[in-house]
Amino acid sequence: AQKITQTQPGMFVQEKEAVTLDCTYDTSDQSYGLFWYKQPSSGEMIFLIYQGSYDEQNATEGRYSLNFQKARKSANLVISASQLGDSAMYFCAMREGRSNTGKLIFGQGTTLQVKP
Amino acid sequence: SQTIHQWPATLVQPVGSPLSLECTVEGTSNPNLYWYRQAAGRGLQLLFYSVGIGQISSEVPQNLSASRPQDRQFILSSKKLLLSDSGFYLCAWSRDISPYNEQFFGPGTRLTVL
């Protein structure tokens, strides 16, 4: 079973508008962290934002916010005031507390294109 | 601040040739180090991880091996490359295996095996 599911292969958004990228996760672990990364065409994975399983407040980081709904097991990324430079692939990922490697489990990604 | 380097940035190698990709981390000590591979347009798959010098664990059986000769150096190797080894290889580090700490990635190496 997929542990991280990103159902939107591609998304378009108009410049200056907000966009939500969906992510659902599956784990029986009580302790876990959820992460979003941005991968521009250069390939580098850029860390954007993090949410811990015990955090009650939604994480925010500048124009990025994470809409964390624990009961639904969703951790959607919201980008406000989109910019042309936001065009990239976005990955949702999870680290589980019971993991003995600390590896990140990635979704398949969502390609976001910002239109001028 | 911490930085992570990878080289080479791109590599084109014939089938059957050896491989050595290097990753180094600056600005931290005793990091956890990871090698991931990304197939085109896909998410990342963990290949190897290391919690200390000489300590390597493999996540999936494959044609590759890893070594950690120094605290902040992580090397990915192969004796004979296969076509299926083509991909984008990313090295990452984190403070520990806690689910509440980020992993930070290097710029990656794009490997094409012909």
Alpha carbons B102 and A49: distance in angstroms, whole number: 9
Element (H, E) at A10: strand A10-14
Q: Nearest 5 degrees, angle CA B83-CA B55-CA A53?
A: 90
Q: Which residues of A touch B (CB under 8 A)?
A: 4, 29, 31-33, 35, 37, 42-47, 50, 52-53, 91, 93-97, 99-104, 106-109
State the pLDDT at residue B39.
Answer: 86
Contact A109 B32 (CB under 8 A): no
User: A interface mutation test: which of B34, B56, B98, B104 has the most A CBs within 10 A?
Assistant: B98
- pLDDT of A22 reads 98
Task: Mutate one of A8, A29, A104 to test the B interface: name it (highest B CB count within 10 A).
Answer: A104
Q: What value does the mean pLDDT of chain A take?
A: 95
Identify the band that residue A54 occupies on the pLDDT scale cut at 50, 70 and 90. very high
Instruction: Name which of A32, A30, A27, A78 is nearest A51 in CA terms.
Output: A32
Summarised one tens digit per residue, pLDDT across range B9-65 is 999 999 999 999 999 999 999 999 999 999 887 789 999 999 999 999 998 877 899
pLDDT of A1: 63
Longest dimension (CA), chain A: 45
CB contact under 8 A, B99 and A47: no
- Asked if the model's pLDDT at residue A66 lies above 80, the reply is yes
**How many other C-beta atoms are found inside a 10 Å radius of the C-beta of residue B36?**
25
- Which positions ≥6 away from B13 have C-beta within 8 Å? B19, B81, B111, B112, B113, B114
- B102 to chain A, minimum CA–CA distance in Å? 8
